[in-house]
Amino acid sequence: MGKVFQALCKVERLSISSITVQCLVDHSHRDIPRSFDNLLELEISFKDSHWNLLLKLLQRSPKLERLVIHKESNSSATPKLKKLPALPLVLKVFAFNNCEGSEDDLGFIECMLQNAEGLERMRIDFASSTDSHTQNQTAEKVSSFSRRSTNCQLKFNHIP
């Protein structure tokens, strides 16, 4: 697995499936290259117990402009999001699919808003299992978070 990721460290666009994420977690993240210097776009699917791997990828992607995450619900998730570090992000677009409004979801969204200086658009699509009250509460909380980028447009896709 390490050789595969070493070969990918020069790519500009990368899509990582939840199966690949699980393999990286199983190998204690040791296969992740020290840096993805050219990475501009990252699309990643993962279970909600794998937030810390996502943070590690972000820390190693200094030019990342577009991030799309597809969170898969995992009712047996125990590892929680560690204290979020300050991330110097050049992110312009962030899309979060299957947001459930959990503490980890909100913590990650807040981290993106507070650290992405050039963030232009953030789209949050709620999971179909998230009730309308939770969706509205989450949208209110996210809208109240401080933002490093004064031009960031928030869009919430509510599921009836």
Q: For residue range 1-60, what is the model confidence (pLDDT) as tens digits?
A: 556 666 777 889 999 998 888 877 776 555 566 788 899 999 999 887 788 888 888 888
Cα separation of 108 and 104, whole Å?
6
Tokens representing 68 are: 């799309």
Tokens representing 148 are: 């490093």
pTM value is: 0.87
Domain extent listing, the chain: 2-157
Q: What is the DSSP string of 62-124?
A: TT--EEEEEEEP-TT--PPPPPPPP--B---EEEEEEE---HHHHHHHHHHHHHBTT--EEEE
How many CB atoms sit inside 10 A of residue 95's CB? 17
Tokens representing 57 are: 């990828």
| Dihedral sign, Cα of residue 142, residue 145, residue 148, residue 149 | positive
Interval 131-136 mean pLDDT: 95
65-102 pLDDT tens trace: 999 999 987 655 555 666 666 777 899 999 999 999 99
Q: How confident is the model at residue 151 (pLDDT cuts 50, 70, 90)?
A: very high
Tell me the CATH architecture of domain 2-157: Alpha-Beta Horseshoe (3.80)
Helix (H, G, I), strand (E, B) or coil at 42: strand
